[in-house]
Amino acid sequence: MFIYVGFDDTDTKDADRGTGKLARWFGEKLPEGCRLWGVVRQQLPRLEGIPYTSNNSAACVVVETEDVGMREELTVRGVAHIEEHFIEGSDPGLCVMAEGDRATEALIAFGRECCVRRVTQAAAMRAATGVHLSGHGGTNDGVIGAAAGIGLTLPGWSGRFVEFGDLRGWPDQVAVRALEEGGIRVLDVDRDAMVPGFGDLVETEGWLRPRLWGGRPVLPVRRLESGGWRVEGIKEGRGKRE
Amino acid at 84: E
**Distance between CA atoms of 58 and 205, rounded to whole angstroms?**
25
Q: Measuring CA to CA, which residue among 151, 152, 158, 148 is closest to residue 214?
A: 158
Helix pair 104-114, 142-153: axis angle to 10 deg: 110
pTM exceeds 0.85, yes or no: yes
Give the per-residue pLDDT at 234. 81
Residues of the chain with CATH 3.30.70.2200: 2-161
CA distance 167 to 185: 13
**pLDDT category, 233, cuts 50, 70, 90?**
confident
- Report the pLDDT value the prediction gives residue 185, as an integer from 0 to 100: 97
Is residue 147 over pLDDT 90?
Answer: yes
Q: Is the pLDDT of residue 146 over 80?
A: yes
CB 108 within 8 A of CB 156: no
Query: What one-letter code names the amino acid at 142?
Result: G
Q: At 236, is the pLDDT very low, low, confident or very high (cuts 50, 70, 90)?
A: low
Nearest-angstrom CA–CA distance, 191 and 177: 23
| DSSP H or E segment with residue 44 | none
How big is the CA angle at 19 (ends 68 and 158), to the nearest 5 degrees?
A: 65
Is the CATH code 3.30.470.30 the one for domain 2-161? no
CA distance 213 to 141: 28
Half-sphere exposure at residue 133, Cβ-oriented, CA atoms within 13 angstroms: 26
Q: For residue range 196-229, list pLDDT tens digits in order.
A: 999 999 999 988 999 999 999 999 999 998 889 9
pLDDT above 70 for 239: no
Kindly state the average pLDDT of the residues 127-140. 93
Please report, for residues 49, 115, 146, 149, the alpha-carbon distance to residue 46 in angstroms, rounded to integers and kept in the order given: 9, 9, 16, 15
* Structural contact between residues 2 and 138, judged by C-beta atoms closer than 8 angstroms: no
pLDDT in tens, 32-90: 999 999 999 999 876 565 555 556 789 999 999 999 899 999 999 999 999 998 888 88
Q: How confident is the model at residue 124 (pLDDT cuts 50, 70, 90)?
A: very high
Nearest one of 152, 107, 113 to 125, comparing CA atoms: 107
Q: Which residues pair with 163 in a beta bridge?
A: 39
Task: Round to whole Å and give the CA distance between 186 and 204.
Answer: 12
Q: Among 1-5, 116-120, 145-149, 237-241, whose mean pLDDT is lowest?
A: 237-241
